[in-house]
Each structure stands twice: as C-alpha cells, then as structure tokens.
C-alpha cells in the first residue's frame, strides 16, 4: 500500500468515526422541541419513543418543563451528560448562534431540519455560510439543512431521527437521498414490499456532510449489504466516483439521478424495477 492509499484510508476511518455521532447517537437533544402536535419538534420526539430508541432524549424548550412526558431543559448547557447529536428546529436567523453553542457544548453532529438557507436565495445563503463557519470553529458536522434526518434500524439502537411516518423493520439495505420526498417514497416502497432497511439518510441542502461521505459510511458498515442512492446532482462528482468505485467492489449500489426532462423525472419514480433488483439481496 503506497503513501496515498494509506493517507486515504486514514481519512476514511476518521470520516467514519466522525459520522458515528450522526448515525449511532447515544444521546440526542431536540433544540426547538415543541408541545404542539404535528410540529417537527414534537414529531421527532414521538418517533424516537415510538421506534424504541435506546439512548437518551433531551428536549430543549425554555418555556416548557416537559415535552411528550420527557423532562425538557431551557438550553443545551443545562443538559446533564454528553450529547452526541442535536436536531435544530428553530428560525433560520437563530441557527448560526445555536451551532456555535453546540460546538462549545461538545456536540459533534447536528441535523438542521429548519429551512430558509441556500434554497431561499442570497440572504439564506449568507446564513448558511455563517453557521458553516461556526461549525468549522467548533468541530461540528452538519447534516442538512432543510432535511428530514436519519434512521438507524439497528435493534440495539433504534434511532428514528426523522419526522416521516414509515417505521422500517431492520434489514440489510441502506438508503441515501438528496430529496426527502423521493427518499420517503423509496422507504415506503421497501416497507410495502416487506423488505427491511438498515439505515436511511436524507440530507437536504447537503452543505457539509455529502452523499459521498454517506455512501462511504455505508460501504464500511458490515450490516449494510446493498445501497440505494437518489440524487439531483453532486457538489463534487469526481469525489463521488472515487468513493463509488471503492464501495461498489464490496456491495451493490443502485443509483438514481433526476432526469433533465419532466418525463425523465417522472420515470425515476417508477419503482417497479426496485423489486427485481432488491429481492435477490434478501
């Protein structure tokens, strides 16, 4: 193994270690936890409890003593013990400061469910750049923003860090989707076909943690036997191809990209071929 290969292997191991706090969190803070039914800050807690999450849940709400019968805390600095992962569900303009606070608190990964960033034009892009700078200063990895989140069906964890409504059984297929809508369709299709799922990730704007990093993580996860990927494009196509070449030697990747035409996009959502491609893997 030459120097470049050794360096790349070390970087891969470091990346995987960083993403463990996202995909295998032992304690989760929900910043913007809400007592309002059907609000994202309420549904995520409901889903974690319903799915049987094995770790600790810390709702963050400065006005309520508890959310869904779980003790709430005014700020993340009031939470006892470590926090691996934080959901952020607050107005966009408040996000840069909360990311700075997460760095000070030692939180390694943050899922930003909030919208209002690069997808909203120059003002949103400025906010996105601001929280990314704070994240870099504090050693925080960002998943999102404007995203659903992740699901890890491992029976030892059962982390439903997402606000969708499909509860997959454990399986060997991991999914990553740039679009939450398409990702939810894929997840529901697997569920309807009675096919289990290992890990699910839908990363919205993907401003920090990329699809390439997620695919690499799945590639090194021994319980993932096949990968389904949906994207509308890549920030760094060359990086993706390098990662895909390595991962595809170990397990199959079913990759789907949105078509350039309306018909192409429509055809992408025809998931009939999914059955033929996936059933032999179970």
pLDDT 10s digits, 110-162: 999 999 998 888 999 999 999 999 999 999 999 999 999 999 999 999 999 99
Sort strands 159-161 and 149-152 into parallel, antiparallel or unpaired. Answer: antiparallel
Q: What is the pLDDT of residue 16?
A: 53
The domains located in the chain, with CATH, are 3-143 (3.40.50.720), 164-281 (3.40.50.261)
Task: Please report, for residues 17, 67, 197, the alpha-carbon distance to residue 73 in angstroms, rounded to integers and kept in the order given.
Answer: 28, 10, 33
Sort strands 85-88 and 27-31 into parallel, antiparallel or unpaired. Answer: parallel
Candidates 160, 188, 190, 158; CA nearest to 173 is 190
Q: Which residues, 6+ apart, have CB-to-CB distance to 138 below 8 Å?
A: 99, 100, 102, 103, 104
Check pLDDT > 70 for residue 265: no
pTM (predicted TM-score): 0.88
Q: Distance (Å, rounded) from C-alpha 208 to C-alpha 226?
A: 24
């Amino acid at each position: 193994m030459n120097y470049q290969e050794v360096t790349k292997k070390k970087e891969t191991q470091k990346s995987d270690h960083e993403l463990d706090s996202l995909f295998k969190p032992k304690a989760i803070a929900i910043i913007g936890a809400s007592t309002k039914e059907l609000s994202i800050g309420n549904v995520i807690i409901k889903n974690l409890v319903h799915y049987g999450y094995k770790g600790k849940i810390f709702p963050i709400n400065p006005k309520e003593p508890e959310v869904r019968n779980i003790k709430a805390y005014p700020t993340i600095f009031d939470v006892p013990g470590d926090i691996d992962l934080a959901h952020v569900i607050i107005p966009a303009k408040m996000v840069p400061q909360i990311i700075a606070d997460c760095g000070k608190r030692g939180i390694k990964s943050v899922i930003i469910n909030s919208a209002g960033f690069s997808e909203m034009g120059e003002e949103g892009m400025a906010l996105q750049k601001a929280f990314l700078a704070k994240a870099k200063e504090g050693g925080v990895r960002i998943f999102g923003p404007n995203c659903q989140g992740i699901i890890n069906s491992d029976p030892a964890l059962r982390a439903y860090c997402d606000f969708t409504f499909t509860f997959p059984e454990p399986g060997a297929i991991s999914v990553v989707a740039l679009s939450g809508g398409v990702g939810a369709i894929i997840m529901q299709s697997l569920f309807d076909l009675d096919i289990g799922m290992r890990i699910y990730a839908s990363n919205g704007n993907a401003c920090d943690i990329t699809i390439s990093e997620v695919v690499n993580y799945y590639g090194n996860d021994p319980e993932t036997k096949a990968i389904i990927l949906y994207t509308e494009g890549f920030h760094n196509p060359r990086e993706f191809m390098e990662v895909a070449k390595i991962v595809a030697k170990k397990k199959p990747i079913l990759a789907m990209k949105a078509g350039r035409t309306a018909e192409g996009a429509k055809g992408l959502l025809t998931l009939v071929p999914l059955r033929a491609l996936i059933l032999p893997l179970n």
